[in-house]
Amino acid sequence: MSPSGRRAGLTPDHGPLLAYVAASGGTVHVKQVKVDIRIPVGRPIPELADWLARCEDAGFHGVGVHDHHHAGRDAYLTLAVGATRTSSLTLYPAVSNSVTRDPLVLAALANSVAELAPGRTMVSLAPGFLSVERAGRPRASVDQLRSAFTSMRDLLAGATVPLGDTATRLRQVASPVPPALLLASGPRLLELAGEIADGVLMLVGLDPAAIAAARRHLRTGAERAGRDPAGLKEIFIVPIGVGDQAEVRAWPRSWFRPGVPWLAYPSRSNLRWLRAAGIELADDLAPDEVSDALADRVCDAFGLFGPAEHCAERLLRAREEAGVEHVFLFPVHTAETGYDMPEREIEAFARTIGPMLSQRC
């Protein structure tokens, strides 16, 4: 779609895009999609810094480093070293949790990385999955997450925050303050993000009906708190599998680990958004019951699956249909392959996806 001239049937569910369209007199001037990618701590930290520099050279907007303590490598140390090797790449943990890291510790870590890369860092928080599980702890409840996130966010902004029986503030505050995002894959966390966060990392797929449903929850939370939903930063977590059709359609038929279907990782909320896209899946659907046709529909609704050219076209379609302007590529993996480096995805973006996005803006 040309950056000028096309009108779209937008509703309030399009959030930030709607405000942009209103300001332009109802004409959609579509921006180039910002593309970030997940980098696991699957190599020694000096090598990870090389990977971050490579992502910048490939044209990525940002990198999210997963925060898994049991890997034996720290995400924030990786981001700090990466900050010294890059100049434009946005850097953030993807994502931290408030169970194994105290809000004061999170604020200090995020503030430190922000000092190393002013204006190009973020911090993100979630209830916890693998890091919390490996620590033998339960995930944070919504109320616990609300409290921890608010404390971290306010500390980063320089406020004095009550912590236990005392009140604390950071002696040094980075400028600019890094945005604080919440990860959300279900309605309650989407609404919480609308209430308290600067933005949201949301795993809801790419189907326009599913995205509209998710945005309604964001708007509900924002309006409940008296906030403007158009001011929220939206980053869509987008699973990506680069390969031929037979290869990528195997993912909806696979297991993340024994007892956990890939379709239910990291949350069964995936099924909610697929249903919003018109794909009815039983809660107890076994992966081996997924037909070719159903696998193809799931792949199209939920992410970027196929040859690199197809992935680029699908992302461009999401921009047109739903105003998707910022994505976080989440290379598909199992529990066993979660630390494999995304060689294929980076190469596909550098050679094909990135250039196609640039040419079509």
| Interatomic CA distance for residues 90 and 333, integer angstroms | 23
Q: Which residue in the block uniquely carries the two structure tokens 């990466």?
A: 82
What is the per-residue pLDDT for 297? Answer: 98
What is the per-residue pLDDT for 31? Answer: 75
Domain residue spans in the chain? 12-101+180-359
Amino acid identity of residue 45, one-letter, is I
pLDDT digits over 48-78, tens only?
999 999 999 999 999 999 999 999 999 999 9
Percent of the chain whose pLDDT exceeds 90:
87
Q: What is the average per-residue pLDDT within 232-261? A: 97
- What DSSP string describes 268-333? THHHHHHHHTT----TT--GGG--HHHHHHHHHHHSEEESHHHHHHHHHHHHHHH---EEEEEE--
Q: Kindly report the CATH number that applies to the domain delimited by 12-101+180-359.
A: 3.20.20.30
Confidence (pTM): 0.91
Which of 224, 173, 233 lies closest to 199, judged by CA? 233
pLDDT digits over 330-358, tens only?
999 999 999 999 999 999 999 999 999 99
What is the per-residue pLDDT for 7? Answer: 32
Give me the residues paired with residue 96 across strands: 125
Cβ 330 vs Cβ 302: under 8 Å: no
pLDDT digits over 176-218, tens only?
999 999 999 999 999 999 999 999 999 999 999 999 999 999 9
| Interatomic CA distance for residues 326 and 303, integer angstroms | 13
What is the per-residue pLDDT for 30? Answer: 57
pLDDT digits over 286-331, tens only?
999 999 999 999 999 999 999 999 999 999 999 999 999 999 999 9
